[in-house]
Amino acid sequence: MQKISIDDIAPGTFDTEIHADRRSLSDPLNTSDVAITYYVLDPGERFSGSVHTHMDQEEVFLILEGTATFDLREGEIRVSKNEAIRFAPGEFQSGKNDSNSEVIAFALGAPPDSEDVRISRIPVLDDRVVACPECSHADMQIAPEGGLVCPECGAELVVE
């Protein structure tokens, strides 16, 4: 049994473009089968900087306060207080707070470590579409050593 206080966990510095209060609870709780992250998003902040999917992980977002908007490949969906949304492996999404009030949420991912993350769009970079420069495949895979590679032909993409 593990018990923690979220207030005792320092916010992480996941992405300087996002600035969200993001606190990973997985290590302090010693979870082995699920990743748990607590978020507080001020207006304009995002859960992540890109429209992405985990090909090997499902994600669930539970909204405790406010309303989050999730960008999908086929549009947007709003998720409000006391609502949850599940993204199956392979479903692209990126959540944000485009309201005037704070969003407080939990994100749960299982299994906890995702090794096949794909990106299709980068909202924090002027909504830039990410596609393979060689074969035009519609998304790129985050390489283990960093950078983006095409999952179809292996070409590399440099995002500036």
- pLDDT (0 to 100) of residue 116: 93
Domains and CATH numbers, the chain: 6-113 (2.60.120.10)
- pLDDT (0 to 100) of residue 160: 65
- Residue whose pair of structure tokens reads 């990106």 in the numeric block: 119
Contact in structure between 105 and 68 (CB atoms under 8 Å)? yes
From 110, 113, 122, select the one nearest 86 (Cα to Cα).
110
Half-sphere exposure of 106 (CA within 13 A, CB side): 13
> Which residue type sits at 124?
V
Residue ranges in the chain whose pLDDT is less than 70: 13-19, 160
**Residue 62, Cβ neighbours under 10 Å: how many?**
16
The pTM of this model reads: 0.89
- pLDDT (0 to 100) of residue 18: 63
